[in-house]
Amino acid sequence: MNKHDLLKLNVVPEGREPWLDYQSYVTLGRLFDVVQPPGQNIIDSNYAALHSFLVAIAGLELPMEAASIHFNAFTLLRRGYKVEDITETEYKNLIRLMAGLEQPDKNDMELYDSGGHRDLYTYLTQMMGLFVEPGRGPVWYRAQALIDRYQQLEKETV
């Protein structure tokens, strides 16, 4: 399948800001990881689950075709998730908690019982009430996305 044929499969609205929340984005990633690249357009239970997610959760209207499902799921994953707005106090606390933390690999799923990444995880989940996968990578990148979003909004208001 060439690039022109693939682009015909796209049903993700162009230019629309990400609309999936973080938890849905993580679920989409898990569903996408278990499907095989499209071959003979055979729809197995993994593709059916991914199609169901794209229709019910992401709100897309797409055919039950492996190539279309795979392409649109990939497009949504590349688009990212809607990062929540945070308060100035939350921003300052995140900056304080992240000071000195090493930047882990995005897929680093270890989270020790104590330490800076655990403190950051506790703050995000218990104090801010956000969903974060337990792991140094997800915690660090989730907090960094919140900080980046806050800084972006601050620049726009100046």
| Residues 74 and 94 reside in one and the same domain | no
Q: What is the dihedral of CA 35, 40, 41, 44, to 10 degrees?
A: -50
Tell whether pTM > 0.85.
Answer: no
Asked if 87 and 93 touch (Cβ cutoff 8 Å), the reply is: no
| Residues 67 and 112 reside in one and the same domain | no
| pLDDT score at 14 | 86
pLDDT above 70: percentage of residues in the chain: 96
**pLDDT tens digits, one per residue of 81-98:** 999 999 999 999 999 999
Q: How many CB atoms lie within 10 A of CB 83?
A: 19
| pLDDT score at 43 | 84
* pLDDT score of 127 more than 70: yes
Domain boundary among 79, 102, 134: 79
Domain boundary among 51, 79, 107: 79
| Residues 97 and 153 reside in one and the same domain | yes
pLDDT confidence band for 8 (50 / 70 / 90): confident
Domain boundary among 79, 97, 113: 79
Closest CA relative to residue 70, chosen from 154, 1, 153, 150? 1
- Per the structure, the count of domains in the chain is 2
| Residues 12 and 75 reside in one and the same domain | yes
Radius of gyration of the chain (CA): 18
Closest CA relative to residue 68, chosen from 126, 20, 148, 11? 11
| Residues 64 and 7 reside in one and the same domain | yes
Domain coverage including residue 122? 88-157
Closest CA relative to residue 69, chosen from 105, 91, 43? 43
**pLDDT tens digits, one per residue of 16-49:** 899 999 999 999 999 999 998 887 777 899 999 9
| Residues 95 and 146 reside in one and the same domain | yes
